[in-house]
Structure 1
């Protein structure tokens, strides 16, 4: 199955292209992307390919708004101080690649992957986003220091919603 970063890149490429439908099948998993009325629909399935489609699709379909402008605009205003909003231009935002539930650690009794002030490298795991009973490890795209954690453990997150602010090295 593809890594989250690879899925994120595919979504970006599809959004920037004139392709309306895209399907990828590998190792018993299937990813299907469709554009319609300004939204991208992402379907991810780990069910065997022989499983009946009516059972698989309703359980895994998740509409994902490609522009996602309202959610990211509201979240920093609610979660950050005005001073940090002014610094946003110099900070890298690690965003959620999918709709799901944010978890700061691999289990409730484990230490968080990262917290404010921690140093991260590109490809460091910073959190988990659980979507459709799949726990997806989210990696940092840059090296630097976590300046702010913008969401709380167990919070629902949207596609493209900023999760962390990172001061790049």
Structure 2
């Protein structure tokens, strides 16, 4: 029933033409999943149902598939326009609120805890000044995973200062 839409989503995954919200990335990490698990889940999965996005009324799809390790994962995915063409410029449009003006920014994120703590600086994010949503591109998600896997050769050890907020 959803074969054509699943094929289009899989094409976007294969070409790394997708984004994930920063919130979705955090939830993914809380669940112990990597971007490779999400991609594998879509490539091996099936659409369970079509839902309606509350904010945009656009269709989104609940997909169940397998992770890289053979576990089960459910993903919510939707197809969206990323760019609108204007004369002499390409203006980005927010995937969530559909307004123009999305900007590229850089952030710092921490991964892990204690001795396993890794800080990655200057991560590029796409940020919407209208609704506040922030996105990571597929290429950025893959680069974060690469850095995490090769942290011993890529990271520079630094002392981290910690301050406490007065009670």
TM-score by length of 1: 0.25
TM-score by length of 2: 0.25
Which has the larger share of helix? Answer: 2
Structure showing greater relative contact order (alpha-carbon pairs closer than 8 Å, 6 or more residues apart): 1
